[in-house]
Amino acid sequence: DGGITQSPKYLFRKEGQNVTLSCEQNLNHDAMYWYRQDPGQGLRLIYYSQIVNDFQKGDIAEGYSVSREKKESFPLTVTSAQKNPTAFYLCASSTTGARGEQYFGPGTRLTVT
């Protein structure tokens, strides 16, 4: 079955530690995205990538980093510089960029204490 996988579903970390969230898709989509969602809020764009080896900052990129070495994979690292990292993180992909339908993974709920 085609889709997007994110792992793990729940992640707990201590303050000051970097943590990497995984996102893999087998939909053959060119574009991939990372969003952050806080309770009762909409989705805010962290980073997006249109093609391999290229990515752009979204609206809240500070404290985050990404890589896109393979078309299928777009991991997100939450660094210790991110002041409020506890949130629900969603990865998405699409064929024609934001004009088209975005397919979302199940999300990773990160808790930092």
Q: Report the residue number, 15 or 54, with the smaller CB distance to other proteins.
A: 54
Binding range to other proteins, per CB under 8 A, among 19-27, 50-58, 63-71, 74-82: 50-58
Can residue 71 be called a binding residue for other proteins (CB under 8 A)?
A: no
Which DSSP letter does residue 70 get?
Answer: B
Among 8, 56, 62, 111, binds other proteins (CB under 8 A): 56
- Shortest distance (Å) from residue 31 CB to other proteins: 6
Q: What angle do CA 17, 53, 6 make, to 5 degrees?
A: 50
Among 40, 53, 84, 113, binds other proteins (CB under 8 A): 40
Query: What is the C-alpha separation between 23 and 90, in angstroms, rounded?
Result: 9
Which position has the token pair 């991991």?
75
- Shortest distance (Å) from residue 87 CB to other proteins: 13
Q: What tokens appear for 70 in the block? A: 């393979």
Closest CA to 33 of 109, 105, 106, 108: 105
Estimate to the nearest angstrom the gap between the alpha carbon of 22 and the chain centroid.
Answer: 8
Binding residues for other proteins, rule: CB under 8 A, are: 31, 33, 35, 40-45, 48, 50, 56, 58, 90, 97-107
